[in-house]
Amino acid sequence: MSKTLDGKLSISRPSGSDEPYIKIAIEDKLSRVEFLEINIPLEEFAEALTGLALRPVTLKVRSLDKVGKVKEGKSLNFVVKTKGDRKEYAEQNAQSHADEGWTASTYFGSQLSFSSIDGITFAHGCQYRYVEVNNEA
């Protein structure tokens, strides 16, 4: 099976490694997921650029289930049932409050992440999922 997608390419030379290498990253335009990272030693990259084929590389593949899909998000609000650390409670319990098939974000570091009404504390976050693109109009 073959599918054509739009994407973005990044080529960099990360520092701080004992062995110099080139990092090539591929990102899917729709999902904005970096799903492929190629690491190739600098010498092998130079060989490839000058026409020597099939150079050895290390491939890191991830999040293929999200490629070609669109990220959809909505709010997630729930009662914080603790008198202790509300941020810790929210991070640990967010997924149990998310809708079925959705993934809860565990980020609760904003000033707007919590509110209190009549002594009840609420956590405010978001939940998301990746869905197929609907091309029908």
More reliable by pLDDT, 3 or 26: 26
d(CA 7, CA 87): 36
Write out pLDDT tens, residues 104-128.
999 999 999 999 999 999 999 999 9
- Locate the domains of the chain by residue range: 7-66, 69-132
pLDDT at 87 over 70: yes
Closest CA to 95 of 130, 129, 132, 131: 129
Q: What is the pLDDT of residue 106?
A: 97
Percent of the chain whose pLDDT exceeds 70: 98
pLDDT at 136 over 80: no
Give 25-32 contacts, CB < 8 A, sequence gap 24+: 28/66, 28/67, 28/68, 29/5, 30/5, 30/6, 30/68, 30/69, 30/70, 30/133, 31/63, 31/66, 31/67, 31/68, 31/69, 31/70, 31/71, 31/130, 32/71
Write out pLDDT tens, residues 56-80.
999 999 999 999 999 999 999 999 9
Write out pLDDT tens, residues 34-47.
999 999 999 999 99
CA distances from 20 to 5, 14, 106 (A): 31, 8, 35
pTM: 0.79
